[in-house]
């Protein structure tokens, strides 16, 4: 449901016959519309602190780090990430099994219920593949994260110096 269709429903409530019926209808419309257009917080996932390291070259791969907080009793999963500064992305986990740690591509990153997942270089993270342009410190861009249950959530990503 879009913001425009919510407005149409609100106008229909005025014509639905009787003040009590109209009031109840308006409350129901407000609850539905608020849940659909209010943003990431309504989806019960809060995405914050997105950042990548600066990159002078084009065509390189860089990790995307961020924090995802799930505030509900249902688990979710990060399925896809789309960023305008790269051609592709892959979700990874660092395998600390036998031998040296190694990145492994995975189909999704689990987001357990009532938990916070921090994407970092030692565990789960997203690799942004084939940068399209240099990334200078303090640049910002928006990525879209697609979750299994919460759907698409936009988040701002900051370019920082390497730690």
Q: Does 33 lie in the same domain as 52?
A: no
Q: Does 149 lie in the same domain as 135?
A: yes
Q: What is the pLDDT of residue 142?
A: 97
Q: What is the pLDDT of residue 160?
A: 96
pTM: 0.71
DSSP string, 35-51: HHHS-GGGGTEEEEEEE
pLDDT digits (tens, 9 = 90+) for 27-56: 443 443 344 333 334 458 999 999 999 999
Q: What is the pLDDT of residue 19?
A: 55
Mean pLDDT, to the nearest integer, of 109-137? Answer: 95
Give the chain's domain count.
Answer: 2
> Token digits for 22?
């109209």
pLDDT digits (tens, 9 = 90+) for 67-111: 999 999 999 999 999 999 999 999 999 988 777 888 899 999 999
Range of the domain at 17: 3-38
- Tokens 């269709």 belong to 5
Nearest in space to 72 (alpha carbons), one of 3, 123, 145, 147? 147
Q: Does 107 lie in the same domain as 89?
A: yes
Q: Does 78 lie in the same domain as 53?
A: yes
Instruction: Determine which helix (DSSP H) or strand (DSSP E) holds 144, and give its type and residue range.
Output: strand 140-147
Q: Does 155 lie in the same domain as 76?
A: yes
Q: Does 101 lie in the same domain as 65?
A: yes
State the number of CA atoms in the 13 A half-sphere of 138 facing the CB.
0
* Distance separating alpha carbons of residues 109 and 91, to the nearest angstrom: 7
Alpha helices per DSSP H over the chain: 3-14, 19-37
* Distance separating alpha carbons of residues 67 and 115, to the nearest angstrom: 11
Are the CB atoms for 48 and 117 separated by under 8 Å?
no
Helix and strand numbers (H, E) in the chain are 2, 10
Q: Does 129 lie in the same domain as 96?
A: yes
* Distance separating alpha carbons of residues 46 and 76, to the nearest angstrom: 12
Nearest in space to 52 (alpha carbons), one of 132, 163, 157? 157
Q: What is the pLDDT of residue 126?
A: 96
Q: Does 84 lie in the same domain as 11?
A: no
Three-class DSSP category at 84: coil
Q: Does 133 lie in the same domain as 90?
A: yes
């Amino acid at each position: 449901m879009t913001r425009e269709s919510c407005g149409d429903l609100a106008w229909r409530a005025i014509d639905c016959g009787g003040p009590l019926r109209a009031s109840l209808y308006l409350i129901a419309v407000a609850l539905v519309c608020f849940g659909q257009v209010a943003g990431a917080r309504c989806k019960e996932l809060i995405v914050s602190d997105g950042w990548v390291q600066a990159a002078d070259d084009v065509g390189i791969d860089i990790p995307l780090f961020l924090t995802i907080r799930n505030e509900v009793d249902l688990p979710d999963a990060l399925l896809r990430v789309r960023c305008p500064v790269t051609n592709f992305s892959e979700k990874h986990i660092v395998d600390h099994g036998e031998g040296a740690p190694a990145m492994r591509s995975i189909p999704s990153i689990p987001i357990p219920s009532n938990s916070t997942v921090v994407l970092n270089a030692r565990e789960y993270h997203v690799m942004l593949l084939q940068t399209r342009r240099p990334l200078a410190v303090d640049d910002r861009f928006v990525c879209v994260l697609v979750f299994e249950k919460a759907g698409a959530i936009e988040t701002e990503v900051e370019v920082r110096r390497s730690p």
